[in-house]
Amino acid sequence: MTNLSVNINKIATLRNSRGENNPSVEDWALAIEKFGAQGITVHPRPDERHIRRADVFALRPLLRTEFNIEGYPAPEFMDLVLKVRPTQVTLVPDAPAAITSNAGWNVIDNIEFLSATVESLTEAGIRASIFVDPDPEQIAAAARTGADRVELYTKPYADGYAADREAAIAPFVAAAEAARKHGLGLNAGHDLNLENLKFFHERIPFLNEVSIGHALICDALVFGMETTVRKYLECLK
């Protein structure tokens, strides 16, 4: 079964635009769990422009599903996740000012840094996932760090889906097989949506998890959150 982890950053963005607590990040996270999602994802950035450190601490004791925290493993981020101890930490190579994740790690060039980071997470009992492009060599390197999983950066698939979905999926199938070969669990995320998710899952049925935020929150404006979560879950059957 492929789990759906909903990234709630955009809920926090809306809340922060007024400086109050409406919509409540905690209330919506619990509602999304109730609607059937198997996980909640947050990406606390240094400027706290959406999810704040305080949100991470507030969510941890409330959630009953898997809690995934994404971020660049700067000292402040590592201090946060080692205190909170979520189910999973997804390591991304984003610069502090990045609007959104736009590439996977060059694991080969950063293998010592990532290996040390993964070791810290593993010692704390946290599943470690490394955000990567669909490159079998980088996935092999991720396995050498001791990571539990990789998360495939799926924007290239989403961008190419309408023109030629077979060509768009091909490198991701190869990357997924490389992850299996090296004993890694497999996550995926970025620009997956109701149009392209079902085909992605059909071609890579052994996905452990997809993390979806922006598209899902946009769809919720049209369908409502409960119906939207169920539509995404239907794509993963």
Q: Which of 33, 66, 70, 151 is catalytic?
A: 70
d(CA 78, CA 20): 28
Q: Which of 50, 66, 151, 190 is catalytic?
A: 190
Q: Which of 43, 66, 151, 209 is catalytic?
A: 43
d(CA 170, CA 181): 17
- At 149 the pLDDT is 98
- At 98 the pLDDT is 64
Q: Is 70 a catalytic residue?
A: yes
pTM of the model: 0.95
- At 97 the pLDDT is 65
- At 95 the pLDDT is 72
d(CA 44, CA 133): 22
- At 74 the pLDDT is 96
Answer for the pair 132, 151: CB distance below 8 angstroms, yes or no: yes
- At 86 the pLDDT is 98
- At 100 the pLDDT is 67
Q: Counting Cβ atoms within 10 Å, is residue 137 exposed (0-12), middle (13-18) or buried (19+)? A: exposed
Q: Is 43 a catalytic residue?
A: yes
Q: What is the pLDDT of residues 102-145, one digit of tens each?
A: 789 999 999 999 999 999 999 999 999 999 999 999 999 999 99
Q: What is the pLDDT of residues 163-186, one digit of tens each?
A: 999 999 999 999 999 999 999 999
Answer for the pair 153, 134: CB distance below 8 angstroms, yes or no: yes
Which regions of the chain are under pLDDT 50?
Answer: none
Q: Which residues contact 14 (CB under 8 A, 6 or more apart)?
A: 23
